[in-house]
Amino acid sequence: MRKNIKALVLLCSFFCLIILAILSIVLIKNGKAKQGTQNANVSGSDIGVKNNCLKIVVACHKPTEFLEDTRVFVPVHVGRALNPSINTRESSLKTEDKKDLETKRRNYDWMLGNMRGDNEGNNISDKNRRFSELTATYWLWKNYNSIGGPEYCGIMHYRRHLNFNSSQREQRGFYGETVEKINSGYQKDCCLNLEAMAERIKEYDIVVPHADFVGDFGASNAYEECVKNHGKDYIGMMFEVIDEKYPEYKQDVENLKNETAIYTCNMFIMKKACFEEYCNFLFDVLLKVSEKIDSSGFSNAKEIMGKEGYLGEKLTNLYIQHKKRTSQVKILELNKTFVKNTDIKVS
């Protein structure tokens, strides 16, 4: 009898040990699974955020509605160095002029508090009247680490954006798709958030809007469009500088006579290496051309307003065409949008 009881106790102990072992294994597995889930949350889409994979400077010249995803979009006030009128003495102004000055001051103060300025660090902010949004491109180039030194960077405008929705049909034209205003529905439709944008561009080196047909600008080829819409003298100066400093672009300039579409708007996203190369080419040529314009007798301020900005579009187009012809870079073309009303009331 005692032997039977002893055997029963040993058997129960054995089964208890087995049960404890099974429970231990289950607990360990659950712990690892939980840890794996936590790690997955870190190494999924969030890792792009942590690695600062993409930043887009949005060029603004007035108070405006912002795109919501601050992880990506960096509003920059262009031409901030050109605001001496803010300090005009009110005593010498008429009533209406005083009201206008007060509005300018309120707008300026709002931009100071809500945007970066293109006059920070190394900059050409004081050239904005002629360089337009390119002062923001220059600022990004020379102050890259101030936005975290991302893997990809880009430029869009306060009312012109790229559309990252891959399901929408191809749409060309200078304005692209026209929409009324920036709201959550618009941003969702265009996939204007970090996760969607990073996923869309991850296999590409350069992202640009679809090239526009030159026929829409009243020309038969890209060379004719350059001369017709931007002046033979200015275009001639630009081609002279390119021929002198960048002979490897000679074929690309010649190819303009056979091309029927051009990249416009100075909007893009590029990998850091491409962006560095692009800016070296763009501003090396453009600043040299600007010197020639200053010393060539073209002194009418209205005539040359935004001139370097327009010429910059032609240089951007040449850079893209050159990369397509001479390298293996992957280029993605996207639709662009134009927002009719982005104004906000500043009190």
Residue 225 falls within a domain, yes or no? Answer: yes
Q: Residue 127: is its pLDDT beyond 60?
A: yes
Cα–Cα distance list, 317 to 19, 169, 239, 313 (Å): 72, 23, 13, 6
Q: Are 191 and 199 in contact (CB under 8 A)?
A: no
Residue 297 Ramachandran class (φ > 0 left, ψ -120 to 50 alpha, else beta): left
* Contacts for 43 with CB less than 8 Å, ≥ 6 apart: none
Task: Give residue 266's domain range.
Answer: 49-341
* Rounded-to-integer distance, Cα 237 and Cα 291, Å: 10
Residue 347 falls within a domain, yes or no? Answer: no
What's the whole-model pTM score? 0.82
Residue 332 falls within a domain, yes or no? Answer: yes
To which residue do tokens 């049960």 refer?
19
Residue 114 falls within a domain, yes or no? Answer: yes
DSSP annotation of 64 reads B
230-250: per-residue pLDDT in tens? 878 889 999 999 999 999 999
Which residues sit opposite 153 in a β-bridge? 55, 270
Q: Domains in the chain: how many in total?
A: 1
Q: Residue 55: is its pLDDT beyond 80?
A: yes
Residue 6 falls within a domain, yes or no? Answer: no
- Residue 140 structure tokens: 């990004």
Residue 11 falls within a domain, yes or no? Answer: no
* Rounded average pLDDT over 300-317: 82
Residue 143 falls within a domain, yes or no? Answer: yes
**337, burial (CB in 10 Å: exposed 0-12, middle 13-18, buried 19+):** buried
More confident: 326 or 35: 326
Residue 326 falls within a domain, yes or no? Answer: yes
